[in-house]
Structure 1
């Protein structure tokens, strides 16, 4: 089907999904770019897509795609793109439905506390995917993990991990019921050791914002505060870099056990 007007309901829907309110009202989000859309298509995750034939060759790029698709002119596509240099394709995907309270933790979990930059959050999602942290929990006050920039920064990793949202109170309650070791990344913490007893069960790694650190209300659930050894000339690292280093360290310890 060819779209010809900005008033078309498909165009309006995609525009509405650029906002957090629109995403959560409809339970859907947008993915833009050739690589992530191609990966989403391979997993049959796409509700529908809109493409611009001047920028995106649908038959060559997605030869096996049989779902709903809509064609838009370059001028119309420019009204819905989130990129400065669009690649000509946007897909709409559904939210995952599992509530955090129903999560059965059978692997490590990344917990984001007031991470406000979507680029940092997306980079950590990508690292979580690389180092076996299959579950990502965004606590209240954190950037929306389904925001276009966060999804884009994850470089397709959003398709291979699970997103959850919860309040600090919900996390505290969860930790009372589930077998999980909560580690907090803290410049004043202990150096991570290979024989740390906390690795006998799934780990929840909390990454706080670079400016404020971990919320003090999380104190009661943290089993161990850990740090990244650094030279004294550096006070702190970017949250995404620090989180990635620590996830890599935990992955290596688990791999060598």
Structure 2
């Protein structure tokens, strides 16, 4: 049940929430991240993520959301703090918040810990830096039931609160792993995973001509720079999505969705 209400922004717990929200170094040091929103928190809980504390604004959450939280966490000994509306608005990082925020322990996996089916479908992102793009790709991975999302040399931490928000909680339903380019390539080679680099090169072939039914990794670069030459050249095949208009490329999350669902289509034939 809730403890005494928090009404001051100088409360140490509130100050710590702000640090966790703003600094990836704090999230790494404390092994925690922030999930805002009942929907996202319900998905995280369903995926088995450990929740350590709840911060609830009764004025925003309302009786229905509070009852849902009691049903989810009432018997788990999770600390529950009521927060005034003025204080909650300082820690909320989305517009139209529903008054629910939680501290959770994100699941940290390595490549070697990832269980692989016979024909894994992996989405590989190199140097992703925009949490919104990472979140959108995680939603695609969840919808397609991809095996995992693997990020090489990330420029944002995988459990950035904004990535969680953009993923609507799919950060927790899809195994998500940070690694380096050499580690990824060696691991793919050991497991017989064919790598397809999405890049505009002379050697690239239309994605619809490729066979994605076997062990497959779809490798995507950043919107600004694309893939590094080192990773592009190390992949087994370069592929493109043919452009029919004036523009020569798509948003990386859109391009990833197109390639992913082509792989899903082939696997269902």
TM > 0.5 fold call = yes
Aligned match of 1:116: 129
1:180 positional shift: 1.0
1:43 positional shift: 4.4
Aligned match of 1:103: 114
1:211 positional shift: 2.5
Q: 1:182 to 1:77 in 2, by over 3 A?
A: same
**Cα distance in structure 2, aligned partners of 1:112 and 1:10:** 34
Q: 1:99 to 1:42 in 2, by over 3 A?
A: closer
The TM-score normalised by the length of structure 1 is: 0.90
Aligned match of 1:9: 12
The TM-score normalised by the length of structure 2 is: 0.86
Aligned match of 1:27: 31
Question: What pairs with 1:186-201 in structure 2 (closer than 5 Å)?
Answer: 186-188=199-201, 189-193=204-208, 196=211, 199-200=213-214
Q: 1:237 aligns with which of 234, 237, 250?
A: 250
**Cα distance in structure 2, aligned partners of 1:224 and 1:166:** 21
**Cα distance in structure 2, aligned partners of 1:101 and 1:211:** 31
Q: 2:191 aligns with which of 149, 155, 178?
A: 178
Aligned match of 1:56: 61
Give unpaired runs (5+ residues) of structure 2: none
**Cα distance in structure 1, aligned partners of 2:189 and 2:43:** 37
Deviates more, 1:239-248 or 1:202-211: 202-211
Q: How many residues align?
A: 254
Instruction: Please say if residues 131 and 251 of structure 1, whose CA atoms lie closer than 8 Å, have aligned partners that are also in contact.
Output: yes
SS at match of 2:168: coil
Give unpaired runs (5+ residues) of structure 1: none
